[in-house]
Chain A
Amino acid sequence: MTESLATARSTPRALPEAVVRIEGLRKSFDGRLVLDDVHLTIGRGRIVSVIGQSGGGKTTLMRCVNLLEQPEHGTIEVAGEVVHQDGRTVCRDLPRLRRTVGMVFQRFNLFPHLTAVENVVLAQRRAGVGESEALERAVALLRRVGVAHRALALPDQLSGGEQQRVAIARALALKPELLLFDEPTSSLDPEATREVLSVMRELAADGMTMMLVTHELPFAREVSDHVVFVDGGRIVEEGIPEDVLGAPAQPRTREFLASYGSPS
């Protein structure tokens, strides 16, 4: 693999610039607190994995980054711009913010009425990219993720692994500064999981800034720079993967890892 899917470390910086900065985030659904005083910073080119039990708030935390969820309190800064402050979206151009943040969903969410290549073209055209440039980029991206031979198939004619790789190509099409992965392999069989993880591994090697919510602990350990364990709406423990996944300090983290049969 000589060409890269994405590069993020092209310009060396003295300090790792933060792509995401979250401070004091609080969010509740129908009076039930799902996130409470969460702080998180993701530096450029960093890979942050968020782990924890279902219902613990990790997906909600991720969905706050591109404001698919509106928090009640706290500050969210994306690519150096404050986009949300204490329950108010202060970002003037929400679509532009969302184009800088690509997202890959657990259930793929491909557009079923469009072929794979059209799925990758759609948002580019809405963002003002010319037709031929958008098509070329779409085909190139589908080649990178290894599904170019299925470019003209409809989503329901694709396997789960193929669909998720098309979804990754679609998320990359707008040249985002950050990719969000919301349990990208949770609806996939082991074979498809391997396909998707290998694409993500390449993205990681290319220096893409990524935030991933995952149950794939060995994968998180392999690619992440930073692991965050979220439980009951709070960050219980965070640090380098060797510490959090290898030698967790908090009993709650140890309990969680034990339930996954992971050596701690």
Chain B
Amino acid sequence: MTDLAAAFEVPWSDYRSDLLDALWRTLSYTAVSFLGAVLLGLAVALLRLSRAWPARAVAAVYTELFKNIPLLAIIFLSYFGLASAGIRLDVFTAGCLSLVVFYAAYLSEIFRSAISGVHTGQTEAGQALGLGRAGIFGQIILPQAVRQALPGTNTMLVDLLKSTSLLVTVSAAELMSEGRLITSSTFRALEVYLVISAIYFALCYPLSQLLLLLERKVRAGVPLSPWRRRRLRAARALLAQDTAPDRASAADVKAGAV
């Protein structure tokens, strides 16, 4: 009992603002890297689905390369390796770059299978309705692919947040680095890393629960965008009107079909 009480002796109030800075840094790494990884991952997925074989080859090489190198090695390469080749990136840029290229490889695989999983009949239905390539992709394929890709993508987001802790190796001033600093001045490794772990848990658990909720809503077809909600409200209002065929719109349909 005395051992456990003795473990909690770090003057945490002294570190509050440093920890908040570190928390902000962790969240910044996560947000910027995830956004970059999604965009790059989507681009790589589209290249892999391209009809031109060189595009497919480039994308395949990229994916296989970064899936089979440890993230830590990528971090060292982009921070120390590039620097020795004369390209000096600040730690934030190098950190984000590493996370982007690593997670884009995994996300591209998730996106590729989601996009190619949309039935070809969907494309044909879009074509038959006179939609162009952009319309078919943006309004028919992508929304269905997002639904399919959401669970895997969400897992990757939480994983990316946890992986920012690897940036401790380049002193990126995020939570793990801050933990190491506090430990070096207090020599209370157990207490400090328990608190740091608790902060990661407090970030990741609610985030993953929130993403699960989002997945369920999307799967149930709940309209998330304001314009879709507006459209469905308007439809509901129209449907609530007298269910007997209304003359004006019937005439409209009749005239229009000529």
- Total interface residues on B, CB under 8 Å, equals 38
B243's nearest neighbour on chain A, judged by CB, is A148
Encode B132-166 as 1/0 by CB contact (under 8 A) with A.
10010001100110010000000000000000000
CA distance A163 to B108 in the complex (A): 33
CB pair A174 B221 closer than 8 Å: no
- Total interface residues on A, CB under 8 Å, equals 58
A167's nearest neighbour on chain B, judged by CB, is B125
B14 within 8 A of A: no
> B258: which A residues are within 8 A, CB to CB?
6-8, 10-11, 175
CA distance A256 to B57 in the complex (A): 49
- Could you count the A-B residue pairs with CB atoms below 8 Å apart for me: how many are there? 137
User: With A95-B130, A99-B129, A122-B139 in contact, is A68–B124 under 8 Å at CB?
Assistant: yes
> A133: which B residues are within 8 A, CB to CB?
252
Q: Of A77-85, A139-147, A231-239, A242-250, which stretch is located at the interface?
A: A139-147
A84 CB, nearest partner CB in chain B, Å: 15
CA distance A98 to B231 in the complex (A): 25
B11 within 8 A of A: no
> B84: which A residues are within 8 A, CB to CB?
none
Encode B223-239 as 1/0 by CB contact (under 8 A) with A.
00000100110111011
CB pair B249 A7 closer than 8 Å: no
A103 within 8 A of B: yes
B256 within 8 A of A: yes
> B245: which A residues are within 8 A, CB to CB?
3, 140, 143-144
CA distance A74 to B249 in the complex (A): 41
CB pair A68 B221 closer than 8 Å: no
> B238: which A residues are within 8 A, CB to CB?
135-136, 139
Q: Which of A11, A97, A137 contacts B252 (CB 8 A)?
A: A137
CA distance A126 to B130 in the complex (A): 9
> B228: which A residues are within 8 A, CB to CB?
118
CB pair A140 B250 closer than 8 Å: yes
A112 within 8 A of B: yes
CB pair A139 B235 closer than 8 Å: yes
CB pair A98 B130 closer than 8 Å: yes
CB pair B231 A123 closer than 8 Å: no
CA distance A132 to B237 in the complex (A): 11
B16 within 8 A of A: no
User: With A143-B245, A175-B256 in contact, is A113–B129 under 8 Å at CB?
Assistant: no
A21 within 8 A of B: no
CB pair A118 B231 closer than 8 Å: yes
CB pair B232 A170 closer than 8 Å: no
CB pair A111 B130 closer than 8 Å: no
A117 CB, nearest partner CB in chain B, Å: 5
CA distance A224 to B191 in the complex (A): 83
A19 CB, nearest partner CB in chain B, Å: 12
CA distance A206 to B235 in the complex (A): 27
A252 CB, nearest partner CB in chain B, Å: 30
User: With A95-B132, A140-B249 in contact, is A111–B140 under 8 Å at CB?
Assistant: yes
Q: Which of A96, A131, A175, A208 contacts B231 (CB 8 A)?
A: A131
User: With A126-B135, A135-B235 in contact, is A113–B249 under 8 Å at CB?
Assistant: no
Residues 109-125 (chain B) with a chain A CB within 8 angstroms: 119, 121-122, 124-125
> A175: which B residues are within 8 A, CB to CB?
256-258
CB pair B249 A172 closer than 8 Å: no
CB pair A140 B246 closer than 8 Å: yes
B254 within 8 A of A: yes
B128 within 8 A of A: yes
> A99: which B residues are within 8 A, CB to CB?
129-130
B253 within 8 A of A: yes
B169 within 8 A of A: no
B27 within 8 A of A: no
Q: Which of A105, A152, A172 contacts B239 (CB 8 A)?
A: A152
Additional A-B contacts beyond A105-B124, A114-B221 (18; CB < 8 A)? A6-B254, A7-B258, A68-B124, A98-B129, A109-B121, A109-B124, A109-B125, A117-B232, A126-B129, A127-B130, A131-B231, A131-B234, A135-B234, A138-B235, A140-B245, A140-B253, A152-B236, A170-B129
Q: Residues on B close to A: CB < 8 A? A: 119, 121-122, 124-125, 127-132, 135, 139-140, 143-144, 147, 221, 228, 231-232, 234-236, 238-239, 243, 245-246, 249-254, 256-258
Residue contacts A-B, CB under 8 angstroms, 23 given: A3-B251, A3-B254, A4-B254, A5-B253, A8-B257, A10-B258, A97-B130, A98-B130, A105-B124, A105-B128, A109-B119, A111-B144, A115-B235, A117-B235, A118-B235, A126-B129, A135-B231, A135-B238, A136-B238, A137-B253, A144-B250, A152-B235, A171-B128
